[in-house]
Amino acid sequence: MAQLITPAELDDLIRAGAVRVLDVRYRLDRPDGSVEHLEGHVPGAVYVDMETELSQHGRPEDGRHPLPSTKGLQAAAHRWGLRDGDTVVIYDDDRSLGASRAWWLLTRSGVGDVRILDGGLGAWRAAGLPLETGPVVPEPGDVSLAPLAEPVLSIDGAAALAASGVLIDVRAAERYRGEVEPVDPIAGHIPGAVNLPTGAYMDGERFRDAASLRALFATVGVTEDVTAAAYCGSGITAAQAVFAAERAGLRLGIYPGSWSQWSNTPGRPIATGAAPAEVTAGV
């Protein structure tokens, strides 16, 4: 269940000592948010590293941010101080993109109460609530994580879904159209995929309300009886779309290999233009 929490509600939980807070600041142009974390974070928040804790490194054809192993994620969660039964609140400072990846991994690994801070760090500051500086090193936790509770799409599964269901590309429209590609080896999108960028789900730094999100997903054909999934550049920001879908009462899977895997795999067709499959060519 996609749950948001307000700054005031989080402040109450912190004062009661009844929450574990995770700071997942990450941006494509600034993947290491640890410096910003040290300069100011929600009191008690532990910094979570996207590159080493919420993903693992593999070959180029695996994508830039493959999912971590259950063992690796559990070791990271122990470092964060997580214990079975904890309430966990996650935030970042960029449209909950990094926070959603952590939310998705933890909820799908069996952690029952995981929430995202509505509005992120900016909302915390705007509420006039205090920041803490320096590192946070909690006592090691002992949470038990399970293997992911839902299947994720393989590259072949993504290709099949684009033809039989709805595959959403959440990257910026110009990347989807193939006009620019700042990171991956070739520009374009998976043939048949539709575009619904990350910013569409948000009102500034906050998620739109459930009714608005439900109507938004309907514009690309996602309804309760349609099988759908999302992909992005490297598998991180697609989780934001999953959170938004759950907030709207819908289900959305993830293709974690995303465009970074697709564009590094020889023989995969490429579409460009604003239509799902306007022009295609081989990788």
Note whether 69 and 75 are within 8 A (CB): no
Note whether 117 and 99 are within 8 A (CB): yes
* β partners of residue 30: 27
Check residue 60 and give left, alpha or beta (phi > 0: left; psi -120 to 50: alpha). alpha
Q: What is the pTM of this model?
A: 0.96
Active-site residue, from 45, 50, 232, 271: 232
Check whether 281 has a pLDDT greater than 80: no
Domains and CATH numbers, the chain: 4-126 (3.40.250.10), 155-282 (3.40.250.10)
Query: Per-residue pLDDT tens for 10-36?
Result: 999 999 999 999 999 998 888 899 999
Active site (annotated) includes residue 35: no
Question: Vertex 68, ends 188 and 256: CA angle to 5°?
Answer: 25
Query: Per-residue pLDDT tens for 127-172?
Result: 999 999 999 999 999 999 999 998 899 999 999 999 999 999 999 9
CA-based nearest residue to 260, from 159, 180, 161, 181:
181
Mutual angle of helices 238-247 and 97-108, in 10-degree steps: 70
Give backbone dihedrals phi and psi of 255, rounded to 5 degrees, phi first: -105, 95
3-class DSSP state of 194: strand
The mean predicted confidence, pLDDT, of the chain is 95
Structure tokens at 207: 């998620």
